[in-house]
Homo-oligomer: A and B are copies of this chain.
Amino acid sequence: MERELKGEIISVGSELLLGQIANTDAQYVSQRLQGAGVGVYYHSVVGDNPTRIKEAIHAAQKRSNVIILTGGLGPTADDLTKEMLCEALGEECYLHEESARRIRAHFEKRGVEMPESNLKQAYFPRGARVLQNDNGTAPGMLFEKDGICYIIFPGPPSELLPMLDNYAMKELQGVTGNIITSRIIRMYGIGESQMEVYVKDILEKSLNPTVAPLIGDGDVTLRITARAESLEKAREMIAPVESELHTRLGEYIYGYDNDTLESVVVELLKRNNITLATAESCTGGDIARRITEVSGASGVFGYGFVTYANEAKRDILGVDEEILKNHGAVSEECARAMLKGLINRSGADIGVAVTGIAGPTGGSAEKPVGLVYIAFGDNEDVQCIRYVLKGNRARIRRSASMNALNNVRKFIINKYEGK
């Protein structure tokens, strides 16, 4: 196709209209289509109703040439998407032997006999490129007719997403003649709007590669997406953009693609063969939870303490009664004493200790809700930073955890990797 690609997504399912789930399918597919150079102009949602499904298809045919349908591929008589599309196109369906075999195998693996109704999922029009479903029974398909490319996907995101990324994008590249690849840059310690100020010109002029925040990810991110005739070429196009972003935003960048702050910290600990321990008050175990969420953390993390009560800070970490009395549990003195006790108690190479007021109660004029002290370092060198974090209880706790991890990350890079 050399003409402009205009995309449109029709999602079928009463669970969407009932508000039981959000239409994340449309979101995922839109992201990928945009990356593939297909502009998306419409989303629509209709129920499992034959007339409304067909009307939606007819409306789409008048204005779009890449039409995606999601949902309604189940085995029951209510599942009508493929049937209505074929009816709209005047195509008959035939048994696709490989799909039938796969569906049978899916049931056999679970020791269940395949209900005959499932066989309907293996029927496709001649010329359809069937998209394998590795996580369920309903295959998808890509079908071209009269200059329009139709793609159908099963509704459950756990089936749609892998099918989209592992099979459909390749088929779509056959239609568009482009290979798409992207690189996600992850930042911490900078707000999204401030980040955008630094790279405004790049965001505005970016066409191929495109550069845009990956919103809704929970992180401050930029995604560079390039399309080219080969993967190699696409990667070559990404490199200079990535390098420019690094020049401007390097101090905030902690990782790439699927990295998380905790996975980067665990990787740094492993690489430098050092161990970490945690002492948490207001974060209540969240830092330890994040660290141990990373598979293989056991090699570098052995001890975590949630010293929520003053007595726990005293009994477990040996924080001096005088410090608690004179400065209070939320103080630089207490954070430093927690860290010292933590390293003594655990024998870890480095430690991080957090104490603060997560709210909503417990704040005062002198020590407001959001006041958090984070101490980090080792036997030789301890730093402590005072924060006043914004938001509700959950947000303050999350920010405190993320700042703790980011400080540990910078400490290791600085001390052990000399950067």
Binding site for B on A (CB under 8 A): 11, 15-24, 26-34, 40-47, 52, 212-216, 278, 280, 282-289, 291-293, 295-298, 301-309, 311-312, 316, 345-346, 359-361, 393-394, 397
Contact = CB atoms under 8 A, between A and B. Distances in A.
B293 A394 contact: yes
Given A17-B41, A306-B306, A295 B26 contact: no
Contacts of A19: 26-34, 40
A284 B295 contact: no
A288 B309 CA distance: 13
Contacts of A16: 26-27, 30, 43
Q: Dominant SS at the A interface?
A: mixed
B44 A17 contact: no
Query: How many copies of this chain does the complex contain?
Result: 2
A216 B308 contact: no
A283 B21 CA distance: 29
A31 B360 CA distance: 30
B278 A306 contact: yes
B40 A42 contact: no
A297 B308 contact: yes
Nearest to A210: B18
Contact of A285 (B42, B289, B346, B361): B289
A324 to B, nearest CB: 13
Contacts of A287: 285
Contacts of A216: 20-22
B316 A309 contact: no
